Structure formats: C-alpha cells, structure tokens
Structure 1
Amino acid sequence: MKWKGRRQSDNVEDRRGMSTKGKAIAGGGLLGIVILLLNAFGGENAKMLTPVLEQLNQGQQTEQVQDRQLTAEEMELGDFAKTVFADTEDIWNKIYTENNLGDYEEPGMVLFSGSVQTACGGASSASGPFYCPADKKVYMDLTFFEELRTRFGAKGGDFAIAYVIAHEVGHHVQTLMGTSGKVRQLQQQKSKIEGNRLSVCLELQADFYAGLWAYHNKKYLDAGDIEEALSAAHAVGDDAIQSKMQGHVVPDSFTHGTSKQRMKWFMKGYNSGDINQHDTFSEEL
C-alpha cells in the first residue's frame, strides 16, 4: 500500500512500550489462545467480549508507565497504522456525505502492547484487535499480525493490517448506525445458535465495510494488496480456525463466518463500492 509521506490521523494514541502498573492482566497460555480465537476481528460484540475482559480486569490498576523506547521498525509500523486510520476517516466522511447519512463521528484508535485498559474492561494482547463501543475506540496490538501469519497461515504484507483496521472501523460504523444495538437486543431473545448466526451477520457486514473502504482507497493500493486482505480473511474464518485448532468444525458455534463467507463479503464491498449492498442479515450467507 502506498502510504509514506501521507496524512496521519490525530485520533490515534500510541501506548506501546507502556505497561499497566499493578496486577497483570491474565491472558497467556491456553486462556490467551481461547480469547484470541473467540475475539479476533470481533471485539465489537460487547455481549461476548465484555464479561471476559471484566474477569481479566478484576483488581487491575489503570496507571500506565513507560517501560521502553520503541524500535525504528515499531515506529514505522505505527506510522503506517496512523495513515490507514486517516484513510478510514477521509473515506467514511465521504461515504456519509454522499449518502446523506449525516455527520460521521470519527472513532479513536489505541495502539498497545501487552495489556490495555478500555471502557469495556481490561484486555491482554491475546484478545486480538477489537472495537469497544463504550468509548468508540479501536484497540490494536500490532504484534497480532505476526501471530496471524505464523499461527494461522495468512500471507505477510501491510494490507492485512489495513484490512483489520478497516474491519474494526466497520464495527464503529455499525455502532453509529444502530446495527450493533439492534443485534444485541435480538440476541437476548434468541437461542444461542440463533444468536451466533446474528453475530456472524454482524462480522460479515464489517468485512463488507472493509471491502467498501478498499474500493474507495484504490488509488493507494499496490498489486497484491487485495490478495493479502483475502488471505487474512481466510485465515480467521471460523471453519479454518476450528479445523486447525481442534481438527473438526462445529457450524452452530460459528460467530464470525467461514473463510468463504468472509472473503465473499469483503469482495462484495470492494467490487460494488455501494454501501446500500451491506445487508448480510436478509441474504443467504
């Protein structure tokens, strides 16, 4: 992706190299892997995420202290993330204006390492990237993408990071439009299996929004960028993760969608460029 020398977002807080003073948040080992599998690309669903984070956060103090200076590589990666976030701001402001959706309320983004305190509770790096609707911020530990490549087989490349950022911003758009709130209300009235299906629809719509963002950002894309995004989407499909981690899949437990579904809805956004085609809830998935 062409990004160097371009505008960076002012809505990004970089807490990398800092640690939370006090009791450490749990999240390593098996627990960390479980949280990663449940929440990667899906932290917006506060109904599932917040109770876990609150348990991890018990007794946690919020004061943060500087532990170390960031490396040159980490600084460059942060600059890239800030540039991508600026692109989401520009494009979603444009989409809102062109579709008479009112004023777009820009979210914030927090880059962190190790653990982080949010309005949804405390989280460790094992939670994966997530969006907290309570403070309207995207939370990213950028070391997640090495995990995505080595553990789950996604291709390397910067556009995998861009895709994830755009996906999480898609959850912010869902919050602004009231979609997330409606889904949570419906889930309270449904069985667990039906609630999971609604969660899948929500996640696939965020993938659609990520594809829509990529469509409007074409002038900055390099050859191979879309393939990197599709590889990341494939790697975090429920069926791909379950097959890799437990050797079989349980479709009724899916909360994010299959690899095929995730790639399909990203490409629908990218190919159409039309926000009005975002309905993942009524179409056959």
Structure 2
Amino acid sequence: MTFDDNAKLSGRGVRRSGRRTGLAVGGGGLVLVAIVLLSQLLGFDLTGLVGGGVDTGGSGTSQEGEPLENCETGADANADVSCRVQGAYDSLDDYWSDAAPELLGISYSSPDARLFTGSVDTGCGAATSAVGPFYCPADQRIYLDTAFYDALRTQFDASGGPLAQLYVVAHEWGHHLQNLSGAFEAADRSDTGPTSDAVRLELQADCYAGAWVGSATSTRDVNGDTLLEPITEAQLSDALNAASAIGDDRIQQQTSGQVSPESWTHGSSEQRQRWFTAGYSDGAAACDTFAASANQL
C-alpha cells in the first residue's frame, strides 16, 4: 500500500520510547501470558525474557516517549518504516472513528502506538522484542519494534511489503477494538486450540485488519485529502502472505517439524488468510468470530 506523496501526516498518537527506566506494573500480566503461550507454541521457554514481577492489580503506566522526527508527508511514510507506522495510525484512526460506532456499536477512543528497540516498559509489564508486536489493554497502546518486519522476511519467509507491514499495525488495532467492546474481558484467553477463544480473538483482529484494508483508500489526512493510493493485487498478496507466514501451523512446522493444533493460540495460516479476506470483502460486520461455529472457523 502506497501513501499519496503529498498527504499530510498528523504527528499524533505515535511515539518512540526511550531507554527503560524501570518496571511498569498492571494489566493482568498480558505480556507474561503472551510469552507463556508463545513458549508453548514454539516448544521452549521464553518466560525469562520478562524482567521482574508483574503486579496483576492497578492500571500501570509507561514512559511517554518522544515524537517521531521527519515524518510529515506521505512521501516520508513511503520512504521510512517508522513514518509508515505513523501513516498507518492516521488511516486506521480515521477509518475506525466512524466504523467502530456505526458497524460495531463501540464507543470509540484512539489508542496510542509506541515504537521501541530491544525492550520496553508497558502498563502490562516489561517486554522485549522477542514478544513481537502486541497490544496492552492497561495503557491502550500498541507496541512495535520495527525490526519485526525484518524477521517476517528472514525468519518467517514472508515477502514483507508495505501493506504486510501495515497489516501488523491494523491487527493490533483490532485488539484495541476488542478491548473497547469487552471481547478481551469476556474471552477465555487461557484456552488453546483451533476453536478456542484465544484463536477467535486473533482471527477477529485479522478480520478487522482486512476490513480497514478494504476501505483504507477512502481515509483522509488532517487536511481532508486522500491518504492512500489504490491497493494493487501484489500488495494485497503481500498482506495475505504475512497472515499465512505467522499462522500457528506454519510456525510449528518451521520450529519443531510437527503441527500440534491443540496448542494453537493464533490460528492456522488458512484461518488467518480466510478471516482477513472476509473483512476485506465484506467489512467489519463479517468479523464476529465468536458467533462462528467450529466448522466456520
């Protein structure tokens, strides 16, 4: 997906985190849970990546971060990966500010996004880049080390084009919508398997990402001008390729040589592509994965 070179980026919502100064608390240990589940998926222990303890009470705080530099136009977003996240933020926020109330019945508020390198303190605890991109409901922030995009290509064999990169942000934005709707709180995130609540959450976030992609070219910058140029078939293929590359079955096959569906937490490659496509083709109203039967998942 290519930004209009002349589009104006807002400069809001996205910050770059500085050096860690301490351990944030709160958030019910989401980061720790994510690492435990990832450890189960990959077959080796990653829990040592979380420093210190996580207090499951309280709302937690994290550093405010610094504004991005030299991210002013669509041309900047096309040239620089950090500015591309800013462009994605502007487009996603423009789309969901209307779509969330109208299509999902959600009282909408914007999330924040934090770019970091190596490790970061969040309202859900301390995390490292090994966790991958994630959303913390305690501080309503998306956390991303842009080095993950390199990992998509080198470790997951994804093509990793611009739309694939924006898909990652859009997926985490989907978790913000689930937090606002109460889906996070209602789901049993400790369960695993192809039809588990954990997988339904992830597939719904994929579907929400697809819904945004389907309407992204109608989103506007701060001046009311078009943000994005029309999506090409090659760009759409890149996004679907990324969704496939991080399917549970494909990751398990790459890391252990065998597939264990009972331990899935994010869905298979086929599931992730299918639900992204459902959102892209039919919009956010098609994204109720919790109403889907086991056969429909």
Distance in 2, matches of 1:249 and 1:86, equals 38
How many residues were matched structurally?
251
Long gaps (5+) in structure 1: 24-33, 40-50
How far is the alpha carbon of 1:215 from its aligned partner?
A: 0.8
Distance in 1, matches of 2:186 and 2:100, equals 20
How far is the alpha carbon of 1:282 from its aligned partner?
A: 2.9
How far is the alpha carbon of 1:222 from its aligned partner?
A: 3.4
Long gaps (5+) in structure 2: 24-33, 40-45, 55-61, 71-75, 219-227
For residue 255 of structure 1, the aligned residue among 265, 269, 273 is 265
Q: Which has the higher helix share?
A: 1
Change (3 A) 1:95 1:130: same
User: Contact 1:36–1:126 (CA<8 Å) still a contact in 2?
Assistant: no
Match of 2:95 in 1: 91
For residue 15 of structure 2, the aligned residue among 13, 16, 29 is 13
Match of 2:199 in 1: 200
User: Contact 1:53–1:122 (CA<8 Å) still a contact in 2?
Assistant: no
User: Contact 2:112–2:141 (CA<8 Å) still a contact in 1?
Assistant: yes
Distance in 2, matches of 1:248 and 1:227, equals 26
Change (3 A) 1:135 1:52: farther
> Does residue 1:236 correspond to 2:250, yes or no?
no
Distance in 2, matches of 1:251 and 1:120, equals 28
User: Contact 1:14–1:111 (CA<8 Å) still a contact in 2?
Assistant: yes
Distance in 1, matches of 2:160 and 2:37, equals 20
How far is the alpha carbon of 1:21 from its aligned partner?
A: 4.7
Change (3 A) 1:140 1:65: closer
Distance in 1, matches of 2:211 and 2:63, equals 38
Distance in 2, matches of 1:53 and 1:262, equals 29
Distance in 1, matches of 2:110 and 2:77, equals 27
Match of 2:142 in 1: 138
For residue 278 of structure 2, the aligned residue among 257, 265, 268 is 268
Change (3 A) 1:53 1:74: farther
Change (3 A) 1:148 1:57: farther
Change (3 A) 1:195 1:257: closer
Provide the alpha-carbon RMSD of the alignment.
3.3
Match of 1:168 in 2: 172
Matches within 5 A, 1:22-41: 35=35, 38=38
Q: TM-score, normalised by structure 2?
A: 0.75
Among the aligned pairs, what percent are the same residue?
37
User: Contact 1:9–1:85 (CA<8 Å) still a contact in 2?
Assistant: no
**Alignment partner of 2:138: what SS?**
coil
Change (3 A) 1:177 1:53: farther
User: Contact 1:53–1:123 (CA<8 Å) still a contact in 2?
Assistant: no
> Does residue 1:222 correspond to 2:226, yes or no?
no
User: Contact 2:160–2:238 (CA<8 Å) still a contact in 1?
Assistant: yes
Match of 1:26 in 2: none
**Alignment partner of 2:208: what SS?**
helix
Distance in 1, matches of 2:64 and 2:205, equals 31
Change (3 A) 1:73 1:20: farther
Distance in 1, matches of 2:38 and 2:244, equals 16
